[in-house]
Structure 1
C-alpha cells in the first residue's frame, strides 16, 4: 500500500510529458509540413495551348491533380461545384488564374504564388480572378477556422455533462439533441448575424453547426455509456488531438501531410468545417460526403447512448431480481 502514492507520482510525471509531446506533434507537425499534395487544379483552353501550362504545373511533382476543361465557363463551374480549388485558363490575352478564396484563402494565395512566379520567370503577366471570394468580414478565413475549437469544446462539454449528471437512454438522447440545437442557433447568430462570417442560408448554417456539435457530443456520451467515465477522455482526446489540428480549417485537407488530411475529414471537426464552407459559400456543392460523415458519427453516438442505457437497465433489473430471490429464500 505504501508504494501506491509513489506509483501515482511516477505515472503523473511520465504521463504529462507524453501528452505534451503528443499535443505538440498533432498541432505542430501539420503546420510545419503544409504543402500542396494532389491539390485539385483545373486547366482550361485548347489542348495545344494548355500543353505548356500542364508541363509547367507537372514540374511540381505530386503537388497538383490536374483536371482539364474546354473553356473558362467550364472551369468556373467546376470551381463553384468544389471539384477544383482553382484553374489556369489560357486565353488569347494571356494566362488567367481563377481562384476561390472562400474554399480556403491559404490555397488561393498558394496558387497565385505558384502560377504568377512561373509566369514572371517567362516574362508574362497573369490576371487573377476570385470566382468565389471569402466574405469581406473574414478575408483570411481566420474567424471560420477559429470556430472549430469552440464547437468541439461545446460538444465535449455536452457529452460530459450528460454523462456526469447520470442521464441515460432516451433522456440523454433528448438532452444531447436539445443542447446541439441550441449550440447551432447560438453559433449561427454569432457567426452569421453578428460577425457576418457566414453568408449562406441562416437555418442551414445553424443545422450544420448543430450537427457538428451533436457528432462530438454523441461520440463522447456514447463511448462513456459503454465504457464509463473514461470514455469521455478517450473521445475528447481524439477530437482535440486529432480532429482539430487535422481538420484543415486554416488551410485545406490537401495541404496537410498524409494521412492527416484524410483522417481529419473522417472526424467531426474536419467534416463540419468542409460542410459549413459548402453551405455558406457554395450553395451546398459537395456537401453530401461531409454531411454523411457527421450523420453517422451522430447516429452511432446516440445509438451507443441508448445501448449503454439499455445494458445498465438490464443489469439493474437482473440485480434487483437476484436480491428479491435471496430475500424470498431467507423469508
Structure 2
C-alpha cells in the first residue's frame, strides 16, 4: 500500500470524526454558562429573584438595574440577553429574540420555573427578531456561504499566483462584492437583516475578507497546504463553534471562547450587533476580525516578497554557475 493511499484512508475518517465531534459536542451540551442576564427593581424586591437565579451555579452573570427602563436600555445596548423585572404583580421577563431566538426561549422557560406554580410570567420582546425571519434561520444560514466564499477567494489568489498589491486588491474586491451580494439577499430580499444596509454589507464583507486573507496568507507563508489547513480550521472548528444558532455563552467551554476568536464566530456576533443593535457590543468581534485581516494580508505581502526575491536570485545563481566565456 502506497503512502498516498494510506494518507487518504486515514485522513478521511479523521476529518469526519473531528467534524462530528465538534458539531455533536457543542449541540448536545447547550446550557447557560455565565449568560449575561439582568435583574431589575428595588433591592428588596429583586433579592429573592437574584438568589433563585444564582442557585443555578455558573449559569448566569447577573447584572442589577434600578428599574425596567434601565434594563431595557441594557438589552438594547447588547449588554445582557434579557432581564427579569420585579413588579407589584410579580416577575416580568424582558427578552431580545434578535440576540438569539434559542436564548429567548430558554429564558422564558427559566422565568416560568422561577414563578409560583400556575402563574403566567408576562414577557416583552424588547429587540425582536425580524418578522420575516423569527427563528434566525436566514442569519445562521448565511455564515456558511460566507466561509465558503472566503476560502474560495483565498484559494484562488494562491492558485492563480497573485502577489503583493494584486493579491490584496483581489481579496478586498472579492470580499466587497460578497458583502454586497449577501446583504442584497439576506437584507433586501429576505428581510432577515434590519440594520443599515451599507454597514451590514461592510460587516459581511469583513467576515469574508478575514477568512480569505487568512487562507491566502497562510498559503503564502507555508505553501499550498496552507489552503487545506486553514479551510479545515474554519469549517471543522470555526463553523460549529461559531454559536450562530445559539449564543457563545451556551456552548461548552472552551468552545465558546475559541469560536469567538475565529472569523465565523466573531463574524456572527458582529452581524447580529450591526443588524439589530446599532453596532452595540460589536467592538470585540470587529477587533478580532481586524486582527485576522491584518495578519492574513501581512502573510500575503511577506510571502509575495519572499517569492519575488527567490525568482530574482535564481537567474543570478545560474549566471554564477555558467562556464567562463559562455555567452548569456
Q: Which residue of 2 aligns with 1:252?
A: 247
Are 2:296 and 1:301 equivalent residues in the alignment?
A: yes
Q: Which residue of 1 aligns with 2:97?
A: 101
Q: Which residue of 1 aligns with 2:312?
A: 317
What is the alpha-carbon distance in structure 2 between the residues aligned to residue 329 and residue 35 of structure 1? 77
What is the alpha-carbon distance in structure 2 between the residues aligned to residue 193 and residue 146 of structure 1? 16
Deviations 1:247-285 (A, max 9, x none): 000000000000000111111111111111111100110
Query: Structure 2 residue aligned with 1:283, among 259, 275, 278?
Result: 278
Number of aligned pairs? Answer: 326
Deviations 1:179-227 (A, max 9, x none): 0010011001001110000000000000000000000000000000011
Are 2:229 and 1:237 equivalent residues in the alignment?
A: no
What is the alpha-carbon distance in structure 2 between the residues aligned to residue 142 and residue 196 of structure 1? 12
Give how far 1:113 is off: 0.4
Give how far 1:161 is off: 0.8
Q: Secondary structure at the match of 1:245?
A: coil
Q: Secondary structure at the match of 2:198?
A: helix
Task: Calculate the aligned-residue CA RMSD, in Å.
Answer: 1.1
Q: Secondary structure at the match of 2:85?
A: strand
Gaps of 5+ in 2: none
Query: Structure 1 residue aligned with 2:38, among 19, 28, 42?
Result: 42
Mapped contact 1:95–1:125 kept (Cα < 8 A) = no
What is the alpha-carbon distance in structure 2 between the residues aligned to residue 282 and residue 323 of structure 1? 62
Are 2:59 and 1:71 equivalent residues in the alignment?
A: no
TM-score (norm 1): 0.96
Q: Which residue of 1 aligns with 2:122?
A: 127
What is the alpha-carbon distance in structure 1 between the residues aligned to residue 303 and residue 11 of structure 2? 30
Q: Secondary structure at the match of 1:147?
A: helix
What is the alpha-carbon distance in structure 2 between the residues aligned to residue 15 and residue 120 of structure 1? 55
Gaps of 5+ in 1: none
Deviations 1:101-126 (A, max 9, x none): 000000000000011122143x4331
Q: Secondary structure at the match of 1:175?
A: helix
Give how far 1:168 is off: 1.3
Change (3 A) 1:170 1:328: farther
What is the alpha-carbon distance in structure 2 between the residues aligned to residue 270 and residue 289 of structure 1? 11
Mapped contact 1:41–1:86 kept (Cα < 8 A) = yes
Q: Which residue of 2 aligns with 1:80?
A: 76
Structure 1 consecutive aligned stretches of length 4 or more whose deviation exceeds 4 Å: none
